[in-house]
């Protein structure tokens, strides 16, 4: 059974090419917005951000450099042609953030209720979805060479 909803076709609960495009774009935009939102805290030396990176032992260098890397990743995620590479980089950065929360900082930092950890998990999941759905383009680009 095929149901037509605008230009999105749902058949056996699989997303069509158009549906997967919007799903990937949504996941990439969500990840980019979360990354962009944290830049304010990193670049203005917000006390919470300074506390986190001081506890890691990399204040101010890692705070500023991770902010620059996250800015680049978010811009890559927003542009459809580079969103796959932004997702790959985003997964790596978020694995680092999740690892720091689990092994060094703790899930809850400065009584935030675990919101920073949750945002890093959401960003990781969104970047992973972009990678999973766009994985065929990796194979295509590698087979061209």
Over the range 118-143, which residues count as b (16 or more CB within 10 Å of their CB) and which as e?
Answer: ebbeebbebbbbbbebbeeeeeeeee
Residue in the structure block whose two tokens are 């979805």: 129
Neighbours of 92 (CB within 10 A): 14
What is residue 4's predicted lDDT score, i.e. its pLDDT?
A: 47
What pTM, to 2 d.p., does this model score? 0.83
Mean residue pLDDT across the chain:
88
pLDDT tens track for 67-83: 999 999 999 999 999 99
Q: Name the token pair of 75.
A: 């811009």
Residue 20, pLDDT score: 84
Regions in the chain scoring below 50 on pLDDT: 1-13
- Choose among 83, 117, 82, 85: nearest CA to 100: 117
């Amino acid at each position: 059974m095929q149901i037509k909803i605008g230009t999105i076709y749902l058949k056996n609960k699989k997303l069509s090419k158009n549906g997967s495009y919007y799903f990937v774009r949504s996941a990439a935009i969500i990840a980019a917005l979360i990354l962009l939102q944290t830049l304010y805290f990193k670049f203005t030396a917000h006390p919470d951000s300074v506390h986190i990176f001081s506890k890691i032992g990399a204040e101010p260098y890692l705070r500023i450099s991770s902010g620059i890397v996250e800015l680049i990743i978010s811009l890559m995620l927003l542009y459809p042609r580079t969103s796959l590479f932004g997702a790959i980089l985003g997964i790596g950065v978020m694995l680092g953030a999740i690892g720091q929360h689990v092994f060094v900082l703790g899930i809850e930092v400065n009584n935030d209720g675990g919101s920073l950890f949750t945002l890093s998990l959401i960003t990781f999941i969104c970047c992973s979805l972009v990678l999973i759905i766009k994985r065929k383009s990796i194979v295509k680009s590698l087979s061209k060479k």
